[in-house]
Amino acid sequence: MRKWPSLRAFTCSALAVVLVGCGGSPVVRLLEDQHERARLGTVRGEVTLATTPTGAPLLVAILRVPEHGEDPLQIVDYELLPSAGAYSFFVPPARYRVIAFEDRDRDQEYDADEPLGAWDGFADVVIDEGDTRELPIAITAGVPGPMPEVLMPTAETRSLHVGDVVPLADARFGPEAGERGMWEPLAFLEELGAGLYLVAPHDASRTPVIFVHGMGGYPQEFEAIVGALDHGRFEPWLVSYPSGWVLDAVADYLARAIVELAETLCVPRVCVVAHSMGGLVVRRALRVLDERGRSALVRGFVSLASPFGGIASTATAVRMSPFRIPSWQSLVPDGPFLRAQYEVPLSASTEHTLLFAFDGRHAGDGVVPLTSQLRDEAQREAHVVRGFHTTHVGILRDEGARATVLEALDRCVAP
């Protein structure tokens, strides 16, 4: 049975854990990753549309300016917005430009007849280590300057993969990737990439089911549930992300990926199944979707053994250790992330099925206490609450839990 290295560490002797973590090598890796993460800058802002909206999405892109002026610019990341609103990117130090356009033909490429905007008329912006820059963009009918030659992103230049077809058996969805995503989130992004993947080409007659793992987890943990799906009606989509990353950012990127793939494939609705900390990521992503007017995309949300009330021992680690996994902060029971989780009610268009686990030997499932899994606000907004006598990871293989997940998916696609 797989154990969570991060939470298992909390059972070791207090300060020794947070300083060296039951074994030195993960902390060395964490320190190296922490140093690289500190170098990242943030570029964000609001996109406004000065022309009459057509209902087409807006594409915002950040482009790296080449060292040699004659070379084309390289798109390193982009975000598809359903309408005017906020965007954000994490980028390493470099010189960039930021543009946005109304993607009227929905091909995610700029055409000369599409309204366009650019920050400060295609001016360069230098992002230094740790910078945060606010760059508003107004999309207008005219071109705000000479349109540069631009290279589209590739798997190597964009760390967020949306719509790539990769089989569940691929190594990037296995346990080694899960461990790396917890201890080395930036290296995970640079070398493996995060995103929302398909396991087979999209079939418009089927409803997507998005699977979201927890801390130290990985998509292959859902193998039993994926195998039990009615593949004539459902198609699995897999979320792979560095679980050591800040959960606000993970949730924002998940919401981005769902909107982008739904727009690209013309998908009207999806269902989501999340395990453990993945439930917190999804609950936050649902709020982001609601803020962007896209809450109706997610018809059903199933959580399994999720720490909606947090993990008390993370507070000790965050307080005592200078070497923190960023997502630990999001699990502190009275921390800002969890305090904000239920400030905005779950949309009435999304049905939440809350499944909890108890193993009979602990006041919970051996990892997450029942009081956390059964946070009052989570129970109140859930349509179904059911418990299973199993362990934290065992719930993913429990026959009763699996049957309940399938029942929830049937409701998700019901008229």
Q: What is the pLDDT along the chain (415 residues), one digit of tens a residue?
A: 233 333 333 333 323 333 333 334 555 555 555 556 667 899 999 999 998 888 899 999 999 998 877 788 999 899 989 889 999 998 889 999 999 999 999 888 888 889 999 999 889 999 998 899 999 999 988 666 667 788 877 766 677 899 999 999 999 999 999 999 988 888 888 888 899 999 999 999 999 999 999 999 999 999 999 999 999 999 999 999 999 988 998 999 999 999 999 989 999 999 999 999 999 999 999 999 998 889 999 999 999 999 999 998 775 655 555 556 788 888 999 899 999 999 999 999 999 999 999 998 888 999 999 999 999 999 999 999 999 999 999 999 999 999 999 999 999 999 8
Assigned architecture for domain 5-34+159-413: 3-Layer(aba) Sandwich (3.40)
Query: What stretches of 216-366 show up as alpha helix (H) in DSSP?
Result: 223-228, 247-265, 277-291, 312-320, 326-330, 336-340
Dist. CA 25–CA 15, nearest whole Å: 17
- CA 5 to the chain's CA centroid: 21
Within 10 angstroms of residue 116's Cβ, the number of other Cβ atoms is 22
Q: Check residue 293 and give its pLDDT.
A: 87
392, 401 contact by CB (below 8 A): no
Which sequence spans correspond to the domains of the chain? 5-34+159-413, 41-151
- CA dihedral 87→215→310→271, nearest 10 degrees, is 60
3-state secondary structure of 95: strand
Count of residues in the chain: 415
Q: Check residue 15 and give its pLDDT.
A: 30
3-state secondary structure of 365: coil
What Cα–Cα distance (Å) separates residue 211 from each residue in 76, 199, 220, 280?
26, 12, 10, 13
Q: Check residue 380 and give its pLDDT.
A: 97
Q: Check residue 13 and give its pLDDT.
A: 30
DSSP3 helix / strand / coil % (the chain, rounded to 5):
35, 25, 40
Domain 41-151 -> CATH class: mainly beta
- Rounded (5°) CA angle 28-29-32: 90
148, 99 contact by CB (below 8 A): no
Q: Check residue 314 and give its pLDDT.
A: 73
Written as six digits, the tokens of 77 are 């990341």
3-state secondary structure of 70: coil
Dist. CA 309–CA 332, nearest whole Å: 8
Dist. CA 79–CA 171, nearest whole Å: 27
- CA 313 to the chain's CA centroid: 24
Give me the percent of the chain exceeding a pLDDT of 70.
Answer: 86
Fold: same for 5-34+159-413 and 41-151 = no
- CA 372 to the chain's CA centroid: 22
Report which of 247, 245, 252 is spatially closest to residue 325, judged by C-alpha positions. Answer: 245
Within 13 A of 264's CA, how many CA atoms are on the CB side?
Answer: 18
